[in-house]
Every structure is written in C-alpha cells, then in structure tokens.
Chain A
Amino acid sequence: MIAMAFLLNSFLVFGQGAITPNWVMYSILGVLIVSGLSALVGLTGKLIEMEGQKHGIQLQHEGWFTKLLNQFTGETKSSNHHKLSRGFDILLNGGISDYTIVARPVSRVALKPQNFVGISPIPKVVVEVGQNVKAGDEIYHDKKHPEIKYTSPVSGEILEVRRGEKRAISEIVILADKDQVYRKFSVPSADADRAALVNFLCETGAWTWINERPFDIVPHVETTPKNIFISTFDSAPLAPDNNLVVAGQEADFQGGLNVLARLTSGKVYLGLDGSKKTQLSPAFTAASNVEIHYFSGKHPAGNVGVQIHHIAPITGSDKVWTMNVQDVIALGKLFRTGEVNRRRVVAITGNEVKKAQYVSTYCGASIAELTQDNVQSGNIRFVSGDVLSGKQVAADGFMNEGDDQLTVVTEGDFYELFGWLLPISPRPSVSGTYPNRFFPNMKFDANTNTHGDKRAFVVTGQYEEVLPMDIYPQQLFKAILSQDVEQMEGLGINELSEEDVALCEFVCTSKQPLQQLLREGLDYMRTEA
C-alpha cells in the first residue's frame, strides 16, 4: 500500500513535470491497483475461511488469480464438475438414429488372449477341441499367473484353437449353444474378507474384466488399487450411448459398483457426461457408494484416463483400476445370480454399414454374423472399437475383449490427384484449411487413407490442443524415442493409455504412429519397473 501511495505520488509529480505520463505509467499503476485490491480480497477470503474452520465449516476458497489462470489454461474446476476446453469431436456418418436394441445371438464367439497386455504368447489352454464348456468354465490361464482364470463367455463346444505367428494363440473359437447353460458359483457373503472376494473373482474370470493403470494390464492378485474409476460415457466417434445400455439393468450396475467399492482402499469414482445433451440414466446420476464427477467437453472428455487425471491423478507407484460400464453390470449380475453372463450390447456403426444399430450379443462375437447382410460390398475395414483407438479385425474374425462398438469404414487405398492441395472431398480436420471450417456440424464419410506421408515432428503444440491433460505429449514422445525413463515418468506416461493419445495421432501433421509409440514406452517402463 505504501509503495502504491509512493507511486501514485510520483505519478502525479510526473504529470505536472516535464515528462508526460504515458501508457507505461498507466499500466504499472493499473497492475498495482489490481494486485493491491486482490491482496485485500484474498486476505478477506482467508480470514473468512479461518473463521469458518473455527465453526467447523469447510469453505472452498480459490483466489481470483487461480481462477483466471484456469480460465486461461482452459480448465475450470469446481468440486465435481470439470469443463474441458481442449479436444476435438470427429463427426462421422454412420451413427445410430434408432434407439432400440436388436437381439443377435451369434453362433460363434472367440476368446483372444492377445487382447490382454503382457500375457505370454502361448497361454495354457485347459480345454480341448470338441470339448463342451459352460459359461464361466475356465478356458485358459497365463502360465505366470495360473490363479487368474480366463473363462468362457458362453456355453458350447470348443471349435478350434487358432494360432498366429510363432504358434502364439490368437483365437479360441467356441460354438455357442442356442440355450445357454451357466456354471453356478457360490457367491461370497456380503461380509466376506478381501481374500475370499479376490478368489471368487479369479475363479469366475471376472478378475480379468478389471483393467489396471498404468500399463492397461490385468492386475496382480495382491494389488489393492488406490481408487477405481468408471467412465459412464464414451465421447469417441460414433460411440454407443451407455444410458441406453444400462436401461433395465440399473440394479445390477449398482450391485457391481458395490462390489468394486469393497475392493479398493480409496473410492470408486463415476465419470458422467456433464454436457447436458442427453438424458442421463438414473443408474448413473443416482448411483450410491461412489463419488460422482461430471465432465463436459469434446472428445476425449469421456476417456477414463482424462477423468482420472482431473479427479485424482496417478502419482508415483499408484495403481488404479478401471472397468467399463457393461462389465460393471456383468459383475453385479455375477454377484446376484452366481452366473457368468457376458451378454453385451454392441453398437454397429460406420459409413459402410447399411443400417447402424445396437445389437445384443456375446462378448467376442463373430464379425461375419454380427454384420450379416448389413454392410456394403467393396473395400471395407472392420474395426473392433472406435475409429481412433479400435483394432482392425478381419471380416471372418471376432470382436475384441470388452469392446462395445464395431465400426465399418471405407478402406482408403486409392490415389488422389493433388489430394494434398485440393479439397476434392470433404474430410475431418482440426486445421482450418478445408471449406468445412465454415460448417462445424458437417459429418463425413471416413476412409482409412493416411492423407500424406510420415515425416519428422514439425508442427508443435497441435497435440496439446486436443489432449485435455496437463501433459506435454510431444516432449513425452521424444522422451520415449530416446528411452529416457525418468523423463517419461516425469512427463506423465503413467497417466496415459493408447486411447488418450489417439486423437493426437489423428491430428498429427507428420503422420506419426503415436499409439504404437506410447505402447512401446509403456512396455519399456513395465520391463524397467
């Protein structure tokens, strides 16, 4: 205050003197006035807070500067509503307009051991071809962790064990029965200890539905997670609406949440869509035993990794678990009935699908049966998952473990005359170089062309623009390339998984394979740990 008075004084002297006051003086004075006032406001706030604490009232206090800074960096944080400004929504043709679920029980399903990160290439298969299994019977286990069983999603006959390179087991195909038979497990009581609970999950195969971060692996049985996170919405292109999926299964969803709450020493966090665009299911809004957080913003706001970052980031050697909504429901069902029921709603989407729709089927369903008479002929690609982070599957292949979306897009293996120069056909882009910069709601037919060749990193800051996390992706990727473990960890590799950087890969002008790169980095970290 004294300094202010002094400056004000000298300012007035200047005013009368030879030197006329100019913008510098005005701005210095302005800054001083504003900061002086803010100090006053801050002090008052602090005093009120202290007074409140005396009376046992918790007051959330945030200085205006922090708020301004948050506005500037694009993240506003209220207690449980997170507004994310960075990101990008890719609008594609082939979305679902018909909100009904069509039953499509396929005859063939497959288990794919390679869907699980870190599993040995040749796991121990405990069944033989021709053998009949019930839903919930063990099919295989990892030789390093025999206690964790991978069980059958359906009852039926083992049809074949397909092998890929170096005799690694790629698929175990099961011919599903028309009338499903379930193996009966005895459910542990509500007050059973953790060991009994974990043992039950391992026996039924439900343990493998859990995803552990960092690294996206099936957790070790000794692990107790710091927290468990569930994202109830998917912001990826053409993603299914979980509000529809959970309808009629609200009780099982809550049951699953209750089980998860018993597994962690911390909390179960539920991430909800805060954009208010859709009517949220009461299963989510009224969920108990959890802490609810709302997220609004563009993709990847629905990614659980982004939500973890904003709720309670992974630090040090923390391990957290995540699970997708349909597996939570299956978990609830398992504890209610003692049966492993892995029916699953899958959204069949994409511009090469004749009628995009929701179908109810099994986990690992056959692609050919799922899409029978429903895809265009021609050169097309099947993607288990969304177009950003899903995996390509063959037309005669099977859905990947846990995926609830099948996207069928045009294969882009054609040449385009001056394709880099002229916007011949509209295409999604974060840049403003296409005419569709003027039509933000335009939807596109996707094709898989790379639209250019791979180059060294040239453009900077473009990954940052689409990753709503306090992470410098480009610097992280460079650290991965130079295998600098300390730098990787410091820059937050443990907070990321492929789906989180998928959008960065989409926007990359240099067409770098970022998801692959991140996985290499994560694998390297895992072997070093």
Chain B
Amino acid sequence: MGLLQFLKRIEPDKKKNPLLHTAYDAFFTFAYTPNRVNKGGVHIRDGMDLKRLMVHVVLAMQLCYLFGTYNIGHQHFVAAGQYLGFLDGFHLKLAHGLIKMLPMFVVTHVVGLGIEFLFAAKKGHEVEEGFLVTGALIPLIMPPDLPLWILAIAVAFAVVFGKEAFGGTGMNIWNIALLTRVFVFFAYPGEISGDSCWVSGYDSLAAGSTAEYGWWHTGFFNSIFGAFGWPQFAAAKTMVVDGFSGATPLALAYQGGMEAIQQHYTMDQIFWGGIPGSIGETNKPFIILGALFLIFTRVASWRIMAGMVLGVGVTGMLFNAWGFNAFMMVPWYYHYVLGSFLFAMAFMATDPVTASGTNKGKWIYGFFIGVVGLVVRVLNPAYPEGWMLAILFMNSFAPLIDYFIVQSNIKKRTSRV
C-alpha cells in the first residue's frame, strides 16, 4: 500500500488549486476505486460503474485500432503499387500507420480531456468518464490524412457545444464523436469526402505524385530499419501509380452499382478490410467481434443493434423491389458489409445517452436509423455514407420516441379503473 500512502500525501488542496485537485482526483480515482460505502439505501452494489462500462467499450474496439492503424500504411503503399500483399512490407506499413494514428489519438485526447478537466474544475465536479469512449472513437471515424488542427477544432467544438453546454456526461443530446465528424464534414468537406482523402501520405492522388515523408519516416524509423537491414521509406520511389483512384466501394456503387464495386474489390476484401475508408470501419469481422463482446457483457443494447439490422434489411428489400437505379439493385444483404454500417451499429448508435431511453424505444430508434441511414446512402448523391447523419437525426428524435412511449404508459395507467 505504499503507492496509496504516497498518493494520499501528495493530494493538493482543493480550495487553493481547484484545477490541480481535479486532475489529481481524476488520476487517483483512476488508480484506486474510492473507499466510499453505501449509506441510506442498498447496502451492496453492482461492481459495474461508469469507468468500467466505458473501458469495456474501448476494449471492444481495440481490434479495430490494430487493424485500422496497419491499414493506413497498407493503403499508402497500395496507392504506390508497392507491397501489394497485405502482410508485405509489414514494418513499413505499421510505422506509417503509427505515424498517422498516434498524433490523431494524442491530439483528440489532449484537446478533449483538457476541456473536460477545465470544465470539471470550474464546476467543482469530478472528471466524468464520458470522454474515454468518445476520445477512442474519434480517430477511428476520421480519414487518415486529416490535418491535426482541423481535428483539434472539431473536437473542441463537439465537446464544448455538444456536451459541456448541456451539462456534461449524460446530458448531451447528440453523439459527441459524430458531432466531431459532422463538424469536419460540413466545415472542411474537402478533407473528408471524395476519393482522395482515404489514402494518406500523398499531396494528391494524381499519377506520379510522390509520397511526403517527414522526420519520423526518414529520420526516426529509417534509422531503425537501416540498423536491421530492412527496406526503408523512400519518397522518391514511392509514387502513385496510374489508374489508382482510392475510391471507396460506396462511391463506386453510386456510379455503377454492384458491377462497379466488383471491378475494383472482391467481396472478401470488403468483408476482411484492407480497402480505403475511415480508419476503424474497414474490417468487418473485428467489428462483429466487438459487437458480440458488447452484447455478451451487456454493455451495449442489443435492441438498438437488432433494430438497425432490421431497418436496413427492410429498406434494402424495398429498394431492391423498386430497383430504380444500379445502386438500388445492390442486393439488400450486401448493405450490411458495405461502408461503415457495422461500425455505426456497434459503437455509434448504441451510445446510451443519446439513444432512446426505454427498451421499447430502442427498437424503434434502431430501426429508423437503419431506414434513414440507408436512404441517405442510396438516394443522396452528396453523401456517400448515411450513418453519421442518420444517427444524429435519430438522436434528435430519441426524446420524442420516449415521450410517446411514456405517454402511452401513463394513458394505460390512468384509464385503468
């Protein structure tokens, strides 16, 4: 218990230095669960608390992190026509992925947690855990080459206006991670839409443009790789090959339906990842594993996920029946693995704060995310993917769904005589 005594001794004064105390308290409760006991109500409590809940969501997306980081590097070299096998040039791909991913992760947390700490100190609260999950989600839903200053502004906007303005964790109306993304989407559309943003490390994807490497590539990693005698990063040799577009399957589907997709990607590729896209969403098996983990541990609501699957299925079938254009004719079951449906289902829609609060409402909420998301995906040429907008849209409607469910319960009770 030496650590405990040490920590207790260095506790700063709360009145004199509130910010420092808040930071200390956050760290202390991170290290130790407090010695508080139940008073006045139940005498024993469930071992689950908000920290534990949040950390399990973060655990569930670790595989996505691993794959996403590596895939950043993979896409970089695929564009140059080098190391086309997925595991070829493993060290280079991983190094490039880390160079892109780590700064995003750090910036997200420095900005987001910094704001959390400031507000917690101002309000005299403890630091709440909400940002643990939000901060882990944000890098996964961004394109790999997003400038860090845009990321910082977006995170600051989402945390201040999306969350703290409403009163902190548990009070927000919209999903914070998606609010961050939607901010980038509308304020800097060039950075997050189109075909070129999903491949990192090049100024443009025009044929012949060479890779842009910084000190971390050429100085840090090259010296390590050189010491081992492994291939090194070489900007001059790494240039975009002819005919590479970087288009995502969904962008292709909009142009020519299933056929256009199959010209570029096999179904296996779409399922197993290794294709351009937002960092965390490309590998479906890992997302499914995460979703199953969340359901098994009862951390996330299976009702929302089931509702979404149902919503996409029904809408997809309707589109198939309608069959107006090539995209509508994409068989409905392919919509489950295309784009970021699974990622949105497992990690985005299940956020309990912004979802419907009643178990019945969760079915409706999930179902309509499925419907709206697919409508946006298939029918709207401006937005290749619909989940971000669908979830934010249904976030706004979740209180209304709850209102009707609660009112029907009240009506049932008052009419019972």
Contacts and interface: CB of A to CB of B under 8 A. Distances in A.
Interface in A49-78: none
A84 to B, nearest CB: 16
B126 interface: yes
Given A23-B317, A25-B321, A417-B31, A502 B413 contact: no
B147 interface: no
B406 A472 contact: yes
B406 A470 contact: no
A77 to B, nearest CB: 15
B170 A474 contact: no
A395 to B, nearest CB: 15
Contacts of B130: 458
A428 B44 contact: yes
Interface in A496-518: 502, 505-511, 513-516
B85 interface: no
A368 to B, nearest CB: 19
Nearest to B416: A315
Tell me whether chain A's interface is mostly helix, strand or loop, or mixed: loop
Nearest to A23: B317
A514 B321 CA distance: 51
A451 B33 contact: yes
Nearest to A386: B43
Contacts of B318: 24
B338 to A, nearest CB: 18
Nearest to B47: A427
B317 A24 contact: yes
B220 interface: no
Given A428-B47, A472-B358, A502-B42, A456 B171 contact: yes
Contacts of A390: 43
Interface stretch (B154-162, B188-196, B297-305): B297-305
Contacts of B297: 431-433, 437
B317 A509 contact: no
Q: Which of A414, A420, A449 has the most CB of B within 10 A?
A: A420
A163 B138 CA distance: 58
Interface residues of A, number: 79
A431 B416 CA distance: 35
A447 B126 CA distance: 24
B168 interface: yes
B56 A458 contact: no
B33 A420 contact: yes
A450 B45 contact: yes
B227 interface: no
Contacts of B285: none
Interface stretch (A107-115, A182-190, A358-366, A487-495): A487-495
Given A431-B298, A490-B414, A491-B406, A381 B33 contact: no
Given A415-B4, A429-B48, A316 B41 contact: no
B39 to A, nearest CB: 8
Interface string A410-449: 0111111111110100011111111001000000001111
A19 interface: yes
Contacts of A407: 43
A461 B303 CA distance: 10
Interface in B152-186: 167-171
B37 A470 contact: no
Contact of B48 (A316, A389, A433): A433
Contacts of B52: 420-421, 431, 433, 452
Nearest to B412: A470
Contact of A453 (B126, B406, B414): B126
Contact of B43 (A381, A421, A452, A487): A381
B218 interface: no
A419 B31 CA distance: 8
A90 B298 CA distance: 17
Nearest to B168: A456
Interface of A: 19, 22-25, 27, 90, 92, 313, 315-316, 381, 383, 387-390, 392, 407, 409, 411-421, 423, 427-434, 437, 446-453, 455-461, 464-465, 470-472, 474-475, 487, 490-492, 502, 505-511, 513-516
27 contacts: A19-B323, A22-B320, A22-B321, A23-B317, A25-B321, A417-B31, A420-B55, A421-B52, A432-B299, A437-B297, A447-B44, A448-B37, A448-B43, A448-B44, A450-B34, A451-B33, A458-B352, A459-B53, A459-B352, A460-B301, A461-B303, A475-B402, A506-B42, A507-B46, A508-B45, A509-B48, A509-B53
